[in-house]
Structure 1
């Protein structure tokens, strides 16, 4: 709003508007004031997990029972074409930039848990580009999250819910991101 004074036409219009306004019915006002107010949400520190919502988390899969997450199978032709063309619209984006390995793993696990519970199908996981061993040594370990993602997903308690993991289309981050396609609930 500007601090300029009102013109004569604006003053007349404002006066006409004021005259047309009726005061509120006080019984309606008191009813509105008596409505309960929503409680302030509690602040959650750390990763969001099933325990945060009062649900018992499912156990991790033992190492001997782990099955690698399929990278090229588990999807029909429709999904294949959509992934190749980059027309998939992920329902959730998980950005792991700036996280340590431990916190990134916790963030991925909690996001997968919430996505599975919500019935999402496509997740965009932004990890950053994987670096070669020489580059990791020289640059202080950068790209470690991307290098660990395949192992994390294979060992995850959510591995049975993952249909496939693919490199993202360039419009969604290319080699610095992945699509995680979840299985449909049956």
Structure 2
């Protein structure tokens, strides 16, 4: 019975660590840091669009950004790369998780697992444009507000450069989920 109680307590602790601090209120980040994040976001957008972004803006007050490539008006896979708003926010959530779970090794291990699974780790400086053509989504992302609700919109578009950036990111991450999804799609078509 004691082992069962300890297991339940551990489970509750891990779930609390996973669900807490999963949003960022932009005002909780200094304006100087938000400006640096926006500068990194805009630089990375330019890199992933092979130096030809169609839309490339970032508001440091709200951390709202928009990045599309001029060649095909599609959005690159920003979430896979460092120096982007999605990754900066993900890393801040990770740091908040670590800080709120001091002394709880199991909860901090979960923080680490979530960071590895959810934060971008690819270096945009190593981005190489590929000739592949695929479809991607053009997305305008909005950071979470103080209410914790995230908003955004997406429109399907044909993509080559930005879609290739997303495809290359998935390939570099070694994700089997993409391969399974493609295999399932081809299996369904047959």
Shorter-chain TM range is under 0.3
- Considering fraction of residues, name the structure with more strand: 2
Report which of the two structures shows the higher radius of gyration computed on alpha carbons: 1
- Considering fraction of residues, name the structure with more helix: 2
